[in-house]
Every structure is written in structure tokens, then in C-alpha cells.
Amino acid sequence: MLRAFSHTNGRCAFHHAKCWHHRKSVLAIRREDVNAWERRAPLAPKHVKELTQMGYKVLVQPSNRRAIHEKDYIKAGGIIQEDISEASLIVGVKRPPEDKLIPKKNYAFFSHTIKAQEANMPLLDEILRQEIRLFDYEKMVDHKGMRVVAFGKWAGVAGMINILHGLGLRFLALGHHTPFMHIGMAHNYRNSSQAVQAVRDAGYEISLGLMPKSVGPLTFVFTGTGNVSKGAQEMFNALPCEFVEPHELKEVSRSGANFIFFLTSDLRKVYGTVLSRHHHLVRKRDGLYDPVDYDKHPELYTSRFSTDIAPYTTCLINGIYWEQHTPRLLSRQDAQKLLVPVRSAAGATEGCPELPHKLLAICDISADTGGSIEFMTECTTIDSPFCMYDADQHIIHDSVEGSGILMCSIDNLPAQLPIEATEYFGDMLFPYIEEMLLSEGSEPLESQNYSSIVRDAVIASNGSLTAKYEYIQKLRESREYAQSLKMGNKKRVLLLGSGYVSGPVLEYLTRDSNVDITVASVMKEQLEQLMKKYSNVTSVHIDVIKHEEKLSSLVKKHDLVISLLPYSAHPLVAKKCIDNKVNLVTASYLTPAMKELQESVEAAGITVISEMGLDPGLDHMLAMECIDKAKEVGATVVSYTSFCGGLPAPEHSDNPLRYKFSWSPQGVLLNTVQSATYLKNGEIINIPAGGALLDSVTPMDFFPGLNLEGFPNRDSTKYAEPYGIQTAHTLLRGTLRYKGYSKTMGGFVKLGLINPDPYPLLSSTTPPLTWKELMCKLVGIKLPAEYHVLKEAVFSKLEKDKSQLEAVEWLGLLGDEPVPAADSIVGALAKHMEMKLPFGTGERDMIVMRNEIGLRHPSGHLEDKFIDLVVYGDNKGYSAMAKTVGYPTAIAAKMVLDGK
């Protein structure tokens, strides 16, 4: 029965269910074209039949994709027709393309414009321009604010089917065959009855005790009490299930904490609970829940879901939408805590493994990105329904394997059961069709005698937003204003250095158009190359070490400085940042000279971050991840060794050093004459500076095919406290190289080539020297000298080591090539090696890192953890060293800029 109503213009008055309009009104059902899976329609044939029997003409745009066949609409009296311009009301499910809108018509569909969604504003603009009257189903609500036209139930039904299917896959990936494997995706069933039967079949197997015992009792939590939640529960009820109160969930879950002790009957059913606001929301100040107060001040409340409910939940079915200022159910930090591995159960074996953690899956039927489930940042699709959220890495990968939580967040779930969804939706919409149909879109809205439900759903009419929705324009203006402010408030970054690492730093930071970057470098050619690649970057050709005043002036103009200069330059840069109250990020070690500035940094109120590259940097992060997880299960660290090296890929290690340069050559050379301190079996070992380090080389056999060697790097013992591993009897951090590198470098040390002291004869203001002349000075023979005389003197200085002599000759250090101008001998050698040992076209480098962490568990059991990182450079892109140093540095810099 259609409701009785009257037009105020007096042309027609309805007082009975049937009444004929003097002019036959036309309704059109448009073809859905938003995506391949959209097979629904807003009205089913039975609704079309009623309308045609009442004298209305119904046009149906042809579509082979629509799940309900055209012949059923024809049989109901509908007319299959492409041209729908005759219709006064055009109905659909999803939005039409802007170019298919017809002016001055009535349209009804889900517009997704009421939050001023940016993606749909062009559609709204076109609706206003064409003076279309838009009815939005989402705003058809009763006096309690409850939606009266929605697909909600079928979203819940389809979502529940999908997540049961996903659980089957996830359990299998974790080593368990379960009855859920026989449940398919919702769209694989002709109708919901078939799906119910599949779920019942799985439930029958569960009732027979065929669930693996090691998985323990399964618990499902349903949020909300609306149609979405009810639809999901309807499908869940096809399983052998028992509903418990939320506060009982802990006890139910605990009965499976050790599967030796729980009764078999516990596994013959699954458990569910329905969560309402009062179960998890509490006021921050007193821990109480007041529904009236919450509606007024949701920001004063917090959710205890992550602590009181989630730890005992196998699968969360989320059907609630989230609004700004309301508490979230789960944050990323919550997920990290929930994914901590459970303690081993006594009966777990390799063939019957325990679950890694209780919370296995989330079906976010709300599909509200960044909403109540904060880390659900992107919807999945019917084509790719599942992904895994790894909370530790904060990454999402398309799989059901690996670490993390299985996520399903499809935003058009009812499309998987299109026939039933269409009939259900049509039943809800049909009572309101006639009053929308009997008005012309060109007529003034004020002249229409709509019911409050229909009138309040009119977003736009006669070229304007209706009074109720004028706020949309204000939201748009507010957003645009915020964006303009953001554009006008760009962050300024000064990048010092233009070497190998600068590329990834610039690539990452220039992704944000609100970051302006200035690159300052003494290397003019490198600057020119960067400027060709990054048009929005400013360059300054300057030696900042020699021009401190200019450095200070540059620093003052920026919000953040990133220093990629040699570590020896960082104290100077840091002092300029302190003076000008500018933040600083470096990838290099926190040297004693930098640490001395800590009080000044704090007094200036700035942030200075060091050790944000590869080694140091990623090695810290990987180590702490393992150490923190060990401590969470009560283990102590008894040993820690970490070796890392940047190398040529094996096929490109064809020179006496077995090395090529992908980052600061001078830094590489100076590292070989540093002092080193480490802890071994409870004894502190000190290695003095000057080259003794190269006598402490150890073969590394963890990757035998690479033929590696390693030597200690700086002071390893200082990491005991920040790592929190004072219990370790061995603590060693070292550098990796191919075997033979250290011996060759030892020869350069013997010859005095790794000398950082000022050497005026190499200044750019003095006559240039040849390498032959410099070597004569270093070995103490007079000039001019014959080649064979110099060679013999060098050979003697090298203690008759032929391989070291071959390296000196290979580099041309006995020849007549000019020595590059530099402040020191090692500086000149670095420039020379950079020319002699570059990566050629098509050659790539490699990063190798190995962390070995020895753990003692509370039981006394010893365990060794190994963390390996191997990265290859890109032939036509960035080197492995540039990527692994540059990207972490850039990410840290961006976080500082964003105040994180």
C-alpha cells in the first residue's frame, strides 16, 4: 500500500492506495556502471509490477551485468530502454558518471557527498549546475535517526560468509585444516540459503569435534546492534554457537589457554558476543559510562576494547561507523600489543602448532577507512578480499600468510548477494517511491508535499544545496582553506651534501609538495645532476666547512637540516643548528663530540637525531625489535653481535680491494684506522687507533659463498645501556668486507696514506704533486727517483707483501697522475679512489647485515636469534647503500617535520 498524501498545488489529491494521475509519471532504473561487481538494482521486478499496475511507466536501462534478468522486469511490466530522458525520477544504487546526468530530473542514489567527500564533489557540482534534485538514501531516516532505506543486513550476511572463508585460509596458512575451508566467498553462492547450508555443513563438522585442538575455543565479537550486526549474527547462528556476555569472554577464551586441560566439548561449538557502547566505553576521568553525556561529549570518553575484549577475541566483526572525536576500537599501538606471541602451550608440536596470537581476523563491514579500526587505511575488494596487517612493520600485504591480522574490509558487500539485496532494499525503498515520482525536478522544492523522511533526504534542488545540507559547502571551504594554509606554510629543509645518499632522501621528501628543499654542496657536477632530476629543489654551491657564516645563514632560513657530510663535520653543523634553533638529522654515529652538545640541544629546544641510516640505524631498529620481543616473554640477552657491510655484488668485486664506493670514500678509509672497543665473554677488548683494527679480522662464514671477513667497529660496549642488554657477556658490532680487503687496506696504513692530518702540500693553492712524488715523500727517498727504486722502497715499507704492492700499483699510486687537491692525504686518496673504484654502468652494490642475539629463557633454555638483511642495488636506480641509508634518514626527517 502506498501512503496517502496531497499535493499543495491541488492538481491531485491521494486519499486511497490507488489513484490515477492525470499524466502518467515515468520512473527509470538506471544501469549500474561503478564497477564490475555492482549487479544490484534499487528495485526488483515485484516492485516494478506494483508500480505498473498503478499506472506508472517504468523504464529499465539494459544491462547484462545486472543479476536479475531483463525478462523478469519485462514480465513485471517494465520497458527495457536505453534512453531514460523521459523519466521524472531516475533511481540507482551507486552514483552515475557526471557526463550521464540529465538536467532538471529527480535522482535517487547513494551519493556519498554528505561529509563533503572530496572525490564526489565534482559530481555534486554537476548536480547543482544541472539543477537536479538529489535524494540520498543514506539520509532517509526516521524520527530516531535510524536509516529506513539500507542494504545493511546483507552487508552483514556477506561479510560473515567472507570472513569464515578467510579464516579457513588463514588457519591453513598457520598449519591447521578446519571445516571453514569448505565455505566459499559469498558471491560463489546462488543465494544466501546455499551459503547457510555451507556454513551449517562446516558447523556439523565442528560439532563432531573436527576443529584442531591446538587452536583452542574460537570467539567472535560483533560490534553494534543494527542491521549490519544482525545480518552477520544471522549467518553465525548457522554454526553450533553459544552467545556469552562480553565480560564472560575472558573465561571462555582462557579455557583454551592450554589445550591439554580444556574439555573436548568446548571445541564442539564457537562462542559469540555482541558489544554495545556500555560494554567498552568509559569516561576518562571516572571510568563510568553515561549515554546522554557520551552523545554530547564523546571526546571525554575512551574505549577499553583493546584491553578488556580484544585479547580474548579470535575474530572481530565490526559494524559500527566512526566519527571524529569518538574513541576508536583499535589503534596501531593496540594491534602491536595484541600480536605479541602467546606463551608456548605444553602440548604444541610442529605438526600441531599453536596460534601465534589470539586475534586472528577482523571483518570491518563498516569499511570506514581510518575509522574505528585505525590501521584499516584501505578497503579490500571482492577481487582481492583479504590482506594481512603487520602491526610491527605497519605494512599491509595482499596475502593470508605471514605475520599479522587477517583483514577483510570490502565496501560493497551486498553486491555479492545481489538478488536478495535488491529485493530487501526495494522493499524498504518502495513506500517512498511514489512521492518522489510525482514531483518534477524543475519544480520548487517548497511546493512539494514530501514526508519528512523524503524531504530530509533531499541534498540539492533547483541548483542549490537545501538548507539542511548547506554545511557541505562550509566543509568544502574549510578544507580548501586548510589546504591553502598548508600550501602557504611549507616546511623548509636544508640538505648538506649531494653524494650517493642524497638521491633517495630527495626522492622521498619531494613526494610532499609542501616541503621545499635546498641542497648545499661543494660538488658542482653532482648538484647539476640533482637539479636536472628535481626541478622543485634549490641548489647552493658552497663549501660549508670553509664558510661558517654562510652555513649559519643557510641554516637560519630552514626548519630542518639533514647533514650527509662526513661525520667529522656534524659537530659544526649541530652548533649552527643550536644557535639558530633548527632541528637536525644525520645518518652518522653519535660521536663524543656530538654527545657533548646534548645540554645545548636541550636548552635550544630542538631535536637532533643521529644514527638514522643503515649501520647505524636499521641495525638498531632490527636489534631492538628482537630484544623487546624477547623481554616480553621474560628472556634475557646473553650475547649480541652485529656485522654489516656495503659491498659490490660478487660479480663486480674484481679489483685488489674487492670493494667499490657507493658512499663517502673518505668515511670508508677513516673507519679502518679508528679505535674499537668490544665485550667478549665478559672481557673488555680495546683496540687502539692507527690501523691495529685491521689485525683483528675474523672470517665470517654465515654466508659461505660470499667469502666475507669482519672487524670490530668503534665502541660496541656503549650500546649495552640504550639496548637494555647489560646482561650480555658478549657485545660486538663490526664491519663486513670481502676477504682480502683488510690486508690491502693494511698496506695503505703502512704507507701513511690513511692520514687525516692537514697536509699543506696538497692544497689547491700549491703546485700540484704527482702520486709518484707524494709516495717518494712518504717512503723517504729523494726526487727524482726511478720507478723501480720507488717500487722497491714501497715494497720494503710494505714488509715485502706482494698483494699489497699489487694493489698500490693497480691504483696508479706510483705513477705520474696528479694527486687531487685536498686538505689531507686520506682526503686525496679518497678522491682518487672515487675515480678509480666507481660502480660502472650496469654494476650494482650489495648490503649484507647479520645480527646474532643469544637469549636465555626463564626456563634456562638458550636460544640464538639470527636477523639477516641483504639488499641489492638497482642497475638503473639507487644503490643498496643509498637506499638503506637515505630512506631511513628521509623518513626520520619527515617525522620531525610533522612533529611526530
- Residues with catalytic roles: 615
C-beta neighbour count of 625 within 10 angstroms: 14
**Peptide bond preceding 784 in cis form (omega within 30 of 0):** yes
Q: In what order do the strands lie in the sheet with 26-29?
A: 79-80, 57-60, 26-29, 89-91, 106-109, 133-136, 458-461, 464-465
Phi, psi of 407, deg, nearest 5? -120, 140
Output the nine-digit C-alpha cell for 818.
696528479
**Peptide bond preceding 414 in cis form (omega within 30 of 0):** no
Between CA 285 and CA 268 the distance in angstroms is 43
Between CA 243 and CA 271 the distance in angstroms is 6
CA distances from 450 to 136, 148, 454 (A): 14, 16, 6
Between CA 298 and CA 718 the distance in angstroms is 47
| DSSP result, 790-844 | HHHHHHHHTTT-HHHHHHHHHTTTTSSPBPPP-SBHHHHHHHHHHHHSPPPTT--
Between CA 777 and CA 172 the distance in angstroms is 72
The strand pairing partners of 640, in sequence order, are 731, 853
CA-angle at 380, arms to 375 and 384, nearest 5°? 135
Exposure b/e, 261-285, CB count within 10 A at least 16 = b? ebeeebbebbbbbbbebebbbbeee
Look at residues 456, 534, 473 and name the one whose alpha carbon lies nearest to residue 143: 456
Three-state SS at 397: strand
Look at residues 46, 837, 840, 863 and name the one whose alpha carbon lies nearest to residue 429: 46
Residue 324: alpha-carbon gap to chain centroid: 22
State the helix-helix crossing angle for 152-173 and 192-207, rounded to 10 degrees: 40
Eight-class DSSP state of 105: -
Between CA 606 and CA 560 the distance in angstroms is 10
Output the nine-digit C-alpha cell for 344.
608456548
The strand pairing partners of 448, in sequence order, are none
The strand pairing partners of 637, in sequence order, are 855
Contacts of 612 (CB under 8 A, 6+ apart): 585, 586, 587, 888, 889, 892
Look at residues 226, 84, 72 and name the one whose alpha carbon lies nearest to residue 155: 226
Between CA 36 and CA 66 the distance in angstroms is 10
Output the nine-digit C-alpha cell for 51.
508500480
The strand pairing partners of 519, in sequence order, are 495, 539
Between CA 493 and CA 582 the distance in angstroms is 10
Residue type, 501: V
Look at residues 18, 78, 118, 5 and name the one whose alpha carbon lies nearest to residue 477: 118
Between CA 115 and CA 597 the distance in angstroms is 49
CA distances from 748 to 690, 753, 754, 756 (A): 11, 5, 6, 13
Output the nine-digit C-alpha cell for 851.
645480527
Helix (H) or strand (E) holding 209: none
Q: What share of the chain is helix, strand, coil (3-state, %, to 5)?
A: 40, 20, 40
Largest CA distance in the chain: 122
- Please, are residues 81 and 59 in contact by the beta-carbon 8 Å criterion? yes
